[in-house]
Every structure is written in structure tokens, then in C-alpha cells.
Structure 1
Amino acid sequence: MNNRKLVIVLKGYPRLSETFIAQELRGLEKAGFKLNIVALRRPTDTKRHPIHDEIEAEVHYLPEYLHDEPWRVLRAFLATLPTAGFWRAFAAFARDLPRDFTRNRVRRFGQALVLTHEWPQDGFWLHAHFAHTPASVTRYAALMLGMAWTCSAHAKDIWTSPDWELSEKLADARWTVTCTQSGFEHLRDLVGGRSAVHLSYHGLDLDRFGPYDQRRQMRDGSDAEQPVRIVSVGRAVEKKGFDTLLDALALLPPDLHWRLTQIGAGEKLAELKAQAQRLGIADRIEWKGALAQAEVLAQYRESDIFTLACRIAHDGDRDGLPNVLVEAASQALACVATDVSGIPELLTDGENGLVVPSENPTALAAALERAVREPTLRAKLGKAAEQRVRQHFDHHSSIDQLKKLFDQEWAKV
């Protein structure tokens, strides 16, 4: 592999909630690629995963707000203005602005100016993670640089971006990968054959999530001294459906003994804690906040059930296939989840998990009660889920697919 670099544009880096991206970056490095990471904003998480320390790539931060670094933006503007690339990008920006007349649109053009002016030495290829704001910056910068570019689309970016913008970006990109069948079908329908779209599950680094070979206790909720341990992991935001989960837990019979551990920070955490108080279940819930990956893994192994009540948010935002669900399944942990987006691509109800409609606390409560009362069923479902993960969701498959796609671009030069 030569020394030319893939320049990867991210919204923020590093982020605890985007372990799948860090895993992919490190996988590409191990596959022989040199990377340069460009982030639109600096990190806000107080913790980081060990994998972030393993990534060797340089990290370059663009101005999050243009007025914070006006001279940097001005230098980029003056240097780029005389070039033909500036006017190509400006023409695209001028078409976009009336349809998205926001400061955000101007910010992305300014960030693209800075990226172009500060282009890393030996940078060879531009790739955006997420088809919304990172892809906007990438697209404008590619036009300025006279380069082709590619994109990884995920969940929020697919379902909250307007169709006109998605379809134009996909048509401009050399190719796009996405991580769920539902997302793939939506993007494929949008482009209508004008650009290549590939399905590529993120998978899991199974070296980090080795098999859990200990036998779990056969708790069934009948003993107050041995409550069934339920864990849920995710940011406290609307699409994760934690309010539905709390409503479902409150419907469980009072003589059923359980405890919930919720892992993750987020804007709705205070509301959720207040809801738990109103429902009379606050004393059964431990709110852990954000945890590092090793701590989350320990919680999977100490628990009996993993649950996630994902939903489609009011603005259309939704999960793809939540990475935490794949992680939990890798530990032979029985999973109870909703049927949103890519979740049924991993879990089949009654075979390797319990899957219920979203926004339905009654159905979720019934599934949770069944899982709590039937430890033998939990063991069966957990083992089947682990087998599916280890057979079909090994991240090396995704890395191999990306490597082939990037190698094809290398070969064209």
C-alpha cells in the first residue's frame, strides 16, 4: 500500500456513540490504508474508548463556527477564490442555498473552503461519514479540489435529509455504502441507478467482544433477593424510546422482581428520571450515564436481558441497526427490542430474540415479562443471537468490502 491518504470527514471525533466508525477507521488502518481524519467539531464526551487511542491517523479540526476563526476562513477564501474549483463549488452552493436558507448551509461552505486550503499532504481521496452535514462539506471540497468522493450513510442522515439533497449528493458521489437493508433500499430508489449504492453491515470487532463462556444464573423474577437484571444502552434521545420502555416496565406485575441498568447520557435524561419517579419504579433503576466500552461489556455479562425500545422520532430520525444490540447479542444475552429499521435484520422474533412493535408499551411489557419469567428461553434466544452475530456480523467482512472499493479507486490512478 502506498502512502497516499484517505481523508475521512466526520461530524465530530471522537464520539462514544460512534464506536462503529472508530472500529472501521482502525480496521482500514490495519488493512494498510493511511488516514487523515477531518472533524467538523471537537469532542464533547468526557470519556473515550480504547480504540480511539489505537487509531494512528492525524486529526484535523475545522472551525465549528466560522465566526470563531474568521481569519482562518478569510485566508482560505482568498486563496481559493481565484481557482476554477471555487466557482464550481460556489455554483452548487448557490443552487443549494435557496432550498436550505440557513446559517448551517453557509457554515458548511466555509468549512469546505478551510478543508480545501489546508488539504493534508498526500491526501488522495475524500470520504464522508454521514450523508448530511459531513457530506455537504465533502461535496463542496471535492468540487473545489477537482476530486471524486464517496460516502457512508447511516440512519439519521438518511431519514432526516430532504430527498432532493440526498439524491443530488448520491448522484455526485462515486459510490455510497449504507448499513441496513431498509436504508439501502431507500437510497437505491432515490438514485435510480445514477450512482452505486452498496449494503455493508458495520459488524462487530469480535476480538474485543469474545464469547461469554460462563453460565448465567437462572433467575426468574420470583425472588426479591435475586431480581432479573435488565440492561439498556443508548443516548437519552427521542428515537431510543426510553419513555416507552419505562411505561412498559411500570406495567409488569408488582410481584415480578427486576432491576434496570440504563447506560448513556443525553438531553432527555432528566425527563426520564422524573417519569420513573411518577411511575413508581425509580427505586428499581440505576442510571449509569456514559460508560467506556469495557464497562459496557461488563454490564452485558452481568445482565440477564438486553432491551431497546427504538422508535421513529417526530422528525423522521431513527436508528439503523444499533451497534449496542449487536454487542449485547455477541454476549449470548437475550434481547428484547422493537421492529424499527434494521433491527429485524439481526433479530427474528421467537428465534433469536423477542421483537415487538414500536410505541407499544403493552407489547413490550408482555415480551419483557416472558423473558423475565423464562430463563431457559433467555438462554436459547441468547445463544441463537450470538451465533448469528458471529456468523454474519464480523466487521472484517465490512472492512474487506471497503478495501475493495477503495482499491478500485487506487487502480484508476
Structure 2
Amino acid sequence: MSQAAATTPTAAPAVGPVAAPPGPSAPVGPVLYVLKRFPRLSETFVLREVLGLEAAGVRVLVDALLPPEDSPTHAELDAVCAEVRYVPRHARLRDPASARAHLGLVLRRPLRWSALALRARRDDTWRRFVQGGIVAERVRREGVTHVHAHFATASSEVAVVAAALAGVSCSVTAHAKDIYHHDNAPHLARRLSGVDTVVTVSGHNVAHLESVVREGGVRASVRHVPNGVGLGPVADPATGTSLLCVARLVPKKGVDLIVRAAALLADDHPDLVVDIIGDGPLRPELTSLANSLGLADRVRFHGAATADEVQAALAGCRAFVLPCRIDADGDRDGMPTVLVEALARAVPVVSTDVVGIGELVVDGATGLLVPPDDVDALATALDRLLRDPALATSLGLAGRRLVAQRYSPADATAALLDVFAGASGHAGGAA
């Protein structure tokens, strides 16, 4: 990964070889990604996208709004060719670099610059406007034909401004927190205004976003592009006895439910161990909960892990469990990529029937679904898989077949290429 500033790469679940996808319906020139952070441990899907586009022959550039997190190293980042630049976090128009970038844009498009500046003052997004001008200058200098952002928050605000000032097309991938969280939902239509295409990761999200853009008067199409996940080696869950969760330790992941379910299972499964990989603000609380339930030696919190450690854990467990919920702030998962990754290894999944998860985890066919926040139902589902290794194997293999059919990395890249090419066909930027 070439860089414009020193970074420390982060770890994520293993990313397999990226196959070159079929070409788009029209040529795609250089694409610039606007991201909050890059690289980021929890955003393996961004890394896969960049690798997939580069395998297809697309030149990718990255402008990140924040420096990378201090996390373990992810080896696959070395395969990324994109030059990563870090936009000043507190950019001001009077700063020399910002002033030079915006002066050129004012001279080229004075009316558009003025309209966007007035909008930024009105919407209290001036800092994003200044950052957008810095990005727009790079777009013009490097011959970028399309700007893409992940998450309809700060990244999309900057991307929309940059694309409009540079006169190119723009798309945004919306995921979950940026769509549903109470702090973000009221601003969603505004943040998507000026976007040519909204990409999202589940059919459930498509339906919701179509209503948002329609009711908000936003001129954007909505496309479903699943996060592509390659098939890993087939695991044998029949030989495993542990349960595995890989997640950020935040309320919407429902990790507390796993701990409580383990307490209900402990007497009937004396050898049961639950491995929880990931970190977050709830770790002290979750550790205390496990200790209070007498599970200190049976619920193991591993913190952030390398790709090899995650893959080894998947290979050795009976089932993967992620009891997602809608938290008090409205936050929820859109389509947890880690569920796709588990099924790609033929590891059966137990999750909840919220948002788009049922599109992947079909109850009784590719996994088991339980209602959110139902500890008894979760324990019952896990007990079924612990007692029935044949069921665990059959569900895992069925899930792997579904992943192969619907979550192909090559298909995901081809769909993105069509989004970029189609949007470029009617580019111009909204003022």
C-alpha cells in the first residue's frame, strides 16, 4: 500500500485471492474513495473492494479523514496499490493548502463554489466543505472520474462536495449506523443529496433507503451490492466444541446475551468454552458479567486478533454466534460481514431476525435465527448445535453454498464497476 503519510496497517479477517471480475458496461477511470479511516480493523469490506477494483484494472486513490487506528497488522494491506492521503482533520480555508485548492475551484466554477459554500454555512458543515475542496483539487489533478464514500456521514458530506466542485459523479455505500442511529437518521436525506447512486448491503436496507430518498426529494438510485467474501477452506464444525463470536463490544452486537446463554448451557455442557474476539467500550462490563456468573474460565475475551487467529478460531468451533439487536439509539447491523465469513468456511451461524440478516441466515436451512434479546431462545438454538454435530455440519455447508451464490467477490466488484460507470455517464455534480 503506497501512502502519502506514514500509517500502521490494521488487522482483519483473512482476505483470500481476489479474482478479476468481468468488465463493466462502460470504462471506469480512476476512482477516489473518501473514508473516515483507512485502514480500519472492522472494515475488511473496504479492503476487499479496493483489492477487487485494482484486480479489475481500476486505479484507486484514498482520502481518509482520520489517521489509522493503532491496531494489529493486516498483511493483505501490502497488496493494495492505492496511494492513501490523510486530509487535515481541522481544515480551515485560511490554511495555505486549503486556500490554494479552493482558489482554483472558485476560478473554475464560481457559481457552484458559492452555492455549496452557502449551503455549508446553512447546514453547519463548513469543515466538510473545506475538506471537500481539498479532495476536489486532488480529483482534478489526478484525473479521477468518480468519487465513492463509505458511510453516509462525514465521508459522504465531503465526497458530495468534492464531486460537485470537480464536476464528476459520486456514490455512497450506506451500511447501518449511518442509516438508523438516532443521531444520523434525521440527516440522512441531506447527506445523500447530490449523490448519483446509493449502494447498500442488504435488500432490507434498499427498501428503507428508497423511502428515504423518495420522501426527501433526493435524486439518487439505490443499488444492492453485497459485501463480497471469498470461500475459505471448509471447516469441520462436528469436531469443534467451542462457540465463537467476533464482534466489536458494543450494545448492538448482543454479546451480553452470549454470556448469559453460556450460563444456561454450562451444566449440560461441562466442556463448553465461548471465545469472544474483539474489543470495545463494553469489555469491562462483559468481563464482570462473566465473572459474576461463574464463567471466568469458560468465556474468554481475546481482544483484537490477527487474521490468522480469527481463521484458526473459525476452523475449531462448533458454531458462530452473533445475537444482534436494535439498541436504544436505533443503531443496528445492516448485514454483518463476519456472518458471511463464518458461512464461507461452512461454520453454522446462530443470529437474530433483525434487519437483513434473514437474507443470509435462513432459519433451519443455512443457520438458526432467534428473536433479539431472547436469552432462552438463544441458549436453545446453541444447545441444538452442541448436541447435534450432523446438524451443525449440514447448516454450515448449506450456508457456504449460499455465500458462493450470492456473495462472490467478483460479482460484487462487477456490480460496483457498473455503479461507477453508470454514474459517470451523467456526471456533473449537484450545486
TM-score, structure 1 as length reference: 0.88
2:322 counterpart residue number: 308
Question: Hey, what's the Cα distance between the residues in 1 that align with 2:341 and 2:220?
Answer: 32
Q: CA-to-partner distance for each residue in 1:4-39, whole Å, 9 max, x for gaps? A: 411110110001111011101110111121011111
Question: Hey, what's the Cα distance between the residues in 2 that align with 1:234 and 1:307?
Answer: 10
Question: Hey, what's the Cα distance between the residues in 2 that align with 1:194 and 1:66?
Answer: 29
* 8 Å contact kept, 2:153–2:191: no
* 8 Å contact kept, 1:3–1:34: no
Q: Secondary structure at the match of 2:222?
A: strand
RMSD of Structure 2 on Structure 1 (CA) = 2.4
Q: CA-to-partner distance for each residue in 1:50-72, whole Å, 9 max, x for gaps? A: 332111111011112348x9554
| Cα 1:163–1:318 shift into 2, 3 Å | closer
Question: Hey, what's the Cα distance between the residues in 2 that align with 1:166 and 1:135?
Answer: 10
2:177 counterpart residue number: 156
2:117 counterpart residue number: 90
Say which of 204, 225, 229 aligns to 1:182.
204
Question: Hey, what's the Cα distance between the residues in 2 that align with 1:96 and 1:178?
Answer: 25
Kindly provide the amino acid, as one letter, of the partner of residue 302 in structure 2: K
Q: CA-to-partner distance for each residue in 1:300-344, whole Å, 9 max, x for gaps? A: 001111101111122111111111111111111121111121211
Question: Hey, what's the Cα distance between the residues in 1 that align with 2:401 and 2:424?
Answer: 36
State the identity %.
Answer: 35
Displacement of 1:118: 4.3
1:250 counterpart residue number: 263
Q: Secondary structure at the match of 2:136?
A: helix
Question: Hey, what's the Cα distance between the residues in 2 that align with 1:143 and 1:353?
Answer: 45
2:163 counterpart residue number: 142
1:241 counterpart residue number: 254
Kindly provide the amino acid, as one letter, of the partner of residue 127 in structure 2: R
Displacement of 1:398: 1.3
Say which is worse superposed, 370-379 or 298-307, in terms of deviation.
Answer: 370-379
Q: Secondary structure at the match of 1:172?
A: coil
Aligned length: 393
* 8 Å contact kept, 2:228–2:408: yes
Q: Does 2:395 match 1:381?
A: yes
Say which of 352, 358, 361 aligns to 1:338.
352
* 8 Å contact kept, 1:151–1:177: yes
Say which of 341, 344, 351 aligns to 1:327.
341
* 8 Å contact kept, 1:150–1:176: yes
Q: Secondary structure at the match of 2:265?
A: coil
Q: Secondary structure at the match of 2:57?
A: coil
Larger RCO (alpha carbons 8 Å, 6+ apart):
2
| Cα 1:162–1:295 shift into 2, 3 Å | closer
Say which is worse superposed, 8-17 or 329-338, in terms of deviation.
Answer: 329-338
Kindly provide the amino acid, as one letter, of the partner of residue 349 in structure 1: D
1:211 counterpart residue number: 234
Q: CA-to-partner distance for each residue in 1:157-200, whole Å, 9 max, x for gaps? A: 11126455322343421111111111111111112283211111
Q: Secondary structure at the match of 1:16?
A: coil
Say which of 130, 139, 149 aligns to 1:128.
149
Displacement of 1:347: 0.8
Question: Hey, what's the Cα distance between the residues in 2 that align with 1:73 and 1:313?
Answer: 39
Displacement of 1:85: 3.5
2:363 counterpart residue number: 349
| Cα 1:87–1:164 shift into 2, 3 Å | farther
Question: Hey, what's the Cα distance between the residues in 1 that align with 2:421 and 2:162?
Answer: 22
* 8 Å contact kept, 2:197–2:423: no
* 8 Å contact kept, 1:12–1:39: yes
Say which is worse superposed, 320-329 or 139-148, in terms of deviation.
Answer: 139-148
| Cα 1:284–1:164 shift into 2, 3 Å | closer
| Cα 1:348–1:4 shift into 2, 3 Å | closer
Q: Secondary structure at the match of 1:347?
A: coil
Q: CA-to-partner distance for each residue in 1:252-300, whole Å, 9 max, x for gaps? A: 2424121011111212112211111111111102222112223211110
Say which is worse superposed, 323-332 or 111-120, in terms of deviation.
Answer: 111-120
Q: Secondary structure at the match of 2:413?
A: helix
TM-score, structure 2 as length reference: 0.85
Displacement of 1:143: 2.9
Question: Hey, what's the Cα distance between the residues in 2 that align with 1:272 and 1:75?
Answer: 50
Question: Hey, what's the Cα distance between the residues in 2 that align with 1:186 and 1:242?
Answer: 26
Q: How does 1:2-401 map to 2 (within 5 A)?
A: 4-66=29-91, 71-73=96-98, 75-76=100-101, 80=105, 83-97=110-124, 105-119=125-139, 120-160=141-181, 162-163=184-185, 165-192=187-214, 194-206=219-231, 209-212=232-235, 215-218=236-239, 228-257=241-270, 258-401=272-415
* 8 Å contact kept, 1:178–1:199: yes
Kindly provide the amino acid, as one letter, of the partner of residue 231 in structure 1: L
